[in-house]
Amino acid sequence: MDPIIYWLGVLLAILGGFSHYSGLIIEKYVINKMPAELKLMKTLIRKPLWIFAIFVRFGIGSLLFIFAQIIIGPAITPGLMASGLIILAIGSIKILGEKLNYKEIVAIFIMILAISFIGLSGLSIEISEENLLDAAFLIRMFTSTSILVLVAIIFQIIQEKIPRFKVILLALISGLMLSLNNFWIAPFIWAVIHMFGNSFFIETFLLFLVSSVILITANIFGVVKMSQAFRSGKASFLAPIQNVPVQLTPSILYFFVFLMTISTIISILLFILGIALIISSSFILGKRQAEIEQIS
pLDDT of 286 reads 52
Residue 138's contacts (CB-CB under 8 Å, 6 or more residues apart) are 132
pLDDT of 94 reads 63
pLDDT of 291 reads 45
- Residue (of 58, 106, 105, 64) closest to 81 by Cα position: 64
pLDDT of 31 reads 74
Give yes or no for a contact between 220 and 261, defined as CB atoms under 8 angstroms apart: no
Q: Which domain holds residue 272?
A: 3-295
**Rounded CA separation 76/115 (Å):** 9
Exposed/middle/buried for residue 261 (C-beta within 10 Å: 0-12, 13-18, 19+): exposed
**Rounded CA separation 43/20 (Å):** 22
With a cut of 50, list the residues of the chain below it in pLDDT: 288-296
CB under 8 Å, gap of 24 or more: what pairs does 213-218 form?
Answer: 214/145, 214/180, 214/184, 215/180, 215/181, 215/184, 215/185, 215/188, 218/177, 218/178, 218/180, 218/181, 218/184
pLDDT of 96 reads 56
DSSP secondary structure letter of residue 100: P
pLDDT of 200 reads 67
Total count of domains within the chain:
1
pLDDT of 292 reads 39
pLDDT of 213 reads 94
DSSP secondary structure letter of residue 9: H
pLDDT of 253 reads 78
Q: What count of residues does the chain have?
A: 296
- Residue (of 86, 44, 81, 48) closest to 65 by Cα position: 81
> DSSP H helical segments within 39-101, as ranges?
40-44, 48-54, 61-72, 77-81, 85-94
**Rounded CA separation 79/7 (Å):** 15
pLDDT of 147 reads 92
pLDDT of 92 reads 67
pLDDT of 235 reads 62
**Rounded CA separation 157/162 (Å):** 9
pLDDT of 37 reads 61
